[in-house]
Structure 1
Amino acid sequence: MKKDKVYTEYMYSGKIIKVRRDWVKIKKGKQEHRTWMEVVEFSNAVGIIALLNEEEIILVEQFRYAPGEKLLEIPAGKMDPNESPEAAAVRELIEETGYRPNKVKRIFSLYTTPGFTDEYMHIMLCEDLEYVGVNPDEDEVINVVKYNIKDLEKMVLERKIKDAKTVLAVLYLTRRQ
């Protein structure tokens, strides 16, 4: 199957997202079909596995407007233009938790929800943390919490952790070694 973009129009341009729709020609064998494809454009992002030590991880608890509830998550945020995932992880971790990592390593990268957005997230492992003071964005109300890694898998299975990037981080943490 091949898809050729024929036309693009932007429907919305906001503070953190753009919404476009593309008129595409889909070729499947000898058949051809045309349809609109809607895409939410978002910058690349980082998700941060912040290890305090071999047994503890830093998570953030914050109210998320879209689902309408408070979620427990790994720290995360969008990358600035031309910013490396490593630099973004350091910046975001300090902003959200007040901890600066001395070791940063990319674990894996993924499309968060490829059915409708182009968001590409790098999951970063941050270690050797030192507290330097928190500096959250103006519109963020974040509660920084520490959890024992052994407790996280049970929390996922009990549906206490619902955020996809955090579920993947827990899977990584509980399966590594």
Structure 2
Amino acid sequence: MKKFEEKTTHTTPIFDGKIVKLQVDDVILPNGKAAKREIIKHPGAVAVIAITNEGKLVLVEQYRKALERSIIEIPAGKLEQGEEPIVTARRELEEETGYGAHEFTFLQAFATSPGFADEIIHIFVAKDLYQIEEKADLDEDEFVELLEVSLEEAQEMVANERIYDAKTAFAIIWFAMQQAK
């Protein structure tokens, strides 16, 4: 038995969208009592910590409707059904930045919001970047601006909340640790 496991007795689908599904699970808690859990099902995602040959971090600025504002992030995107994370990472880097990379290294994966969603994000580091001759098209509903910043500039963007998401904050911490070596 998993420690503190909650046993699902029934699942009620609520919404089946293009990106997420919402369900309500009836569960039995470890103490035997019943509860409900609202859960968002997500196919997973990748994010890329791309480092230019000049040692700068590649970021993109885009509008995030859920936050009602633009934020600056590392390139990222949703896994397509049956797609390996490395394939998604290469595609998203090319689409969002116009860069390809000769070197991709898997760093780690983590849950983004485990209190209510099952999304796992796979983080890759991309180095030895090169410009794509024919840049892949962004998704038709995607608008981004490319930025290449130093560690200090990225840290300032965190301080003034232009960088406001966990995956990018994680990337900057990792980038700082690499530069400290």
Structure with the bigger percentage of strand: 1
* TM-score class normalised by the smaller sequence: over 0.9
* Sequence identity percentage: 34
2-structure distance, mates of 1:169, 1:2: 32
**Equivalent position of 1:13 in the other structure:** 16
CA distance in 2, matches of 1:143, 1:159: 17
Structure 1, unmatched stretches of 5+, are: none
Which is worse superposed, 142-151 or 38-47?
142-151
Residue in 2 aligned with 1:61? 61
**Shift in Å, 1:54:** 5.1
| CA-to-aligned-CA distance 1:116-154 (integer Å, 9 cap, x gap) | 100000111011111112421000011111111232223
**Larger deviation, residues 156-165 vs 90-99:** 156-165
* One-letter amino acid of the structure 1 residue matched with residue 170 of structure 2: L
Alpha-carbon distance, 1:97 to partner: 1.1
CA distance, structure 2, for counterparts of residue 54 and residue 144 of structure 1? 16
- Counterpart residue number, 2:92: 92
Whether the aligned pair in 2 keeps the contact of 1:55 and 1:150 (CA below 8 Å) is no
Alignment of 1:106-125 (within 5 A): 106-125=106-125
Which amino acid letter does the alignment assign opposite residue 55 of structure 1? G
Judge conservation of contact 1:47–1:124 (CA < 8 Å) in 2: yes
1:13-162 matches, within 5 Å, as: 13-28=16-31, 32-53=32-53, 55-132=55-132, 133-162=135-164
Q: Residue 29 of structure 2 aligns to which amino acid in structure 1? A: I
Whichever residue aligns with residue 56 of structure 1, its letter is K
Give structure 2 stretches of 5+ with no counterpart.
none
- What letter matches 1:24 in structure 2? V
CA contact (8 A) 1:106 1:123 kept: yes
TM-score (norm 2): 0.91
Structure 1: which 4+ aligned runs deviate by more than 2 Å? 157-160
Question: Residue in 2 aligned with 1:4?
Answer: 7
How far has the Cα of 1:100 moved from its partner? 1.0
Judge conservation of contact 1:153–1:174 (CA < 8 Å) in 2.
no
Normalising by structure 1, we get a TM-score of: 0.93
User: What SS is found at the alignment partner of 1:67?
Assistant: coil
Query: CA deviation digits over 1:10-65, x for unaligned, max 9?
Result: 1000110100110001123xxx1101101001111101111112521110001110
Residue among 146, 152, 166 paired with 1:164: 166
Aligned residue-pair number: 174
